[in-house]
Chain A
Amino acid sequence: MTASAPTLPRPRSRRLARRALPYLLSLPALLVCIGILVPFFTAVWYSLERYNLAMPMMRSFVGPAQYLDLLTDPDFWQTVKVSFIYAAATVGIELLLGLGIALLLREQSRLNNVVSVVLLLPLMTAPAIASLMWKLMTNPNFGVLSWLVSLLGVHDFRWASDPRTAMFTVVLVDVWVYTPFMMILLLAGLRSLPRQPFEAAALDGVPAHFVFFRITLPMLSPYIITATLFRLLDSIQQFDIVYAMTQGGPGDALMLFQVRAYLDFFQYTNVGTSAALMVILWAITYLLSNLFIKQWLKLRERTHHA
Chain B
Amino acid sequence: MRKVLRALALGAVLVFFLFPIFWIVLMSFQTNEQILRLPPSLLFTPTLANYRALISGHLVTAAGVLDITFLRNLGNSVLLSTASVLLSLLLGVPAAYAFARFRFRLGEDIAFTLLSFRFAPPLLVLLPLSLYFQDLGLNDTYAGLIWVYQLICLPLILWIVRGYFEDLSPDIEYAYQVDGHSWGQAFRRIALPLAGPGIAAAGLLAFIFAWNNFVFALILASADKQPVTVGALAFVTASGIQYGQIAAAIVLSILPTLALALYAQRWLVEGLSLGAVKG
Contact = CB atoms under 8 A, between A and B. Distances in A.
A244 B121 contact: no
Interface stretch (B43-51, B54-62, B228-236): B228-236
A180 B20 CA distance: 15
Given A22-B104, A240-B214, A293-B112, A39 B129 contact: yes
A129 B154 contact: no
A303 B211 contact: no
B123 A126 contact: no
A147 to B, nearest CB: 6
B27 A136 contact: yes
B275 A126 contact: no
A136 B125 contact: no
A135 interface: yes
B121 A285 contact: yes
B277 A303 contact: yes
Interface stretch (B63-71, B194-202, B242-250): B242-250
Interface in B197-231: 208, 211-215, 218-219, 228-230
Interface in B94-125: 94-95, 97-99, 101-102, 104, 107, 110, 112-117, 119-125
B277 A119 contact: no
B277 A244 contact: no
A268 to B, nearest CB: 13
A125 B151 contact: no
Nearest to B265: A117
Contact of B275 (A127, A133, A135, A300): A300
Contact-size category for A:
35 or more
A233 interface: yes
A122 B13 CA distance: 12
Contact of A104 (B13, B131, B229, B258): B13
A115 B97 contact: no
A265 interface: yes
Contacts of B119: 233, 285-286, 288-289, 292
A261 B218 CA distance: 14
A33 B151 contact: yes
A192 B154 contact: no
A189 B277 contact: yes
Interface residues of B, number: 102
A43 B10 contact: no
Given A30-B114, A176-B20, A226-B276, A35 B147 contact: yes
A202 interface: no
Nearest to B157: A29
Most buried by A among B6, B92, B274, B276: B276
B253 interface: yes
A223 B263 CA distance: 27
Contacts of A281: 121, 124
Interface of A: 1-3, 5-6, 18-19, 21-23, 25-26, 28-30, 32-33, 35-36, 38-40, 42-43, 46, 100-101, 104, 115, 117-130, 132-137, 139, 141-142, 144, 147, 176, 179-181, 184-185, 187-189, 191-192, 223, 226, 233, 237, 239-240, 243-244, 257-258, 261-262, 265, 271, 274-275, 278-279, 281-282, 285-286, 288-289, 292-293, 296, 299-300, 303-304
Given A134-B20, A303-B278, 15 more contacts: A22-B99, A28-B95, A29-B114, A33-B113, A43-B127, A118-B14, A120-B269, A180-B17, A223-B277, A271-B127, A274-B127, A278-B121, A282-B120, A293-B115, A300-B276
